[in-house]
Amino acid sequence: MEEEKNPKKPLIFYYIISLIAILLLNAIVVPAVMRKRVTEVDYGQFLNAIERGRVRRVEVDETQTHILFVAEDEAGTEKVYTTAAMNDPDLVNRLYNSSTNISFTRVVPKQNSPLLSLLLTWIIPILIFWGLGQLLARQLQNRMGNVMAFGKSNAKIYVEEAQVGKTFADVAGQDEAKEALTEIVDFLHDPEKYTAIGATLPKGALLVGPPGTGKTLLAQAVAGEAKVPFFSISGSEFVEMFVGMGAAKVRDLFKQANEKAPCIVFIDEIDTIGKKRGDGAFGGHDEREQTLNQLLTEMDGFDARKGVVILAATNRPESLDKALLRPGRFDRRIPVELPDLNGREAILKVHAKKVKLEGDIDFTAIARATAGASGADLANIVNEAALRAVRENRTAVSQRDLEESIEVIVAGYERKNAAISPKEKEIIAYHEIGHALVAAKQTESAPVHKITIVPRTSGALGYTMQVDVDERNLMSKEEAFSRIATLTGGRAAEQLIFNSITTGAANDIEQATRIARAMVTRFGMSDVFGMTALETVTNQYLGGDTSLACSAETAAKIDEEVIGLIKSAHERAISILKDNMDKLHELAQYLLDKETISGEEFMEILNR
Task: Enumerate the active-site residues.
Answer: 432
**What is the rounded CA–CA span in Å between residue 230 and residue 219?**
9
The count of other CB atoms within 10 Å of the CB of residue 372 is 9
**What is the rounded CA–CA span in Å between residue 255 and residue 276?**
25
Q: 14-40: string of b/e by CB count within 10 Å (b at 16+)? A: beeebeeebeebeeeeeeeeeeeeeee
Please give the distance of CA 266 from its chain centroid, rounded to a whole number: 16
* Sheet strands (E) in 383-454: 448-452
Is residue 133 within 8 A of residue 11, CB to CB? The reply is yes
How close are the terminal C-alpha atoms of the chain, in Å? 61
Q: What is the 3-state secondary structure (H, E, C) of 549-578?
A: CCCHHHHHHHHHHHHHHHHHHHHHHHHHHH
Is residue 245 within 8 A of residue 252, CB to CB? The reply is no
- Which strands make up the sheet holding 448-452, listed edge to edge? 463-466, 448-452, 596-598
Please give the distance of CA 228 from its chain centroid, rounded to a whole number: 25
The count of other CB atoms within 10 Å of the CB of residue 466 is 18
**What residues have CB less than 8 Å from 215, skipping those under 6 apart?**
207, 208, 209, 268, 313, 336
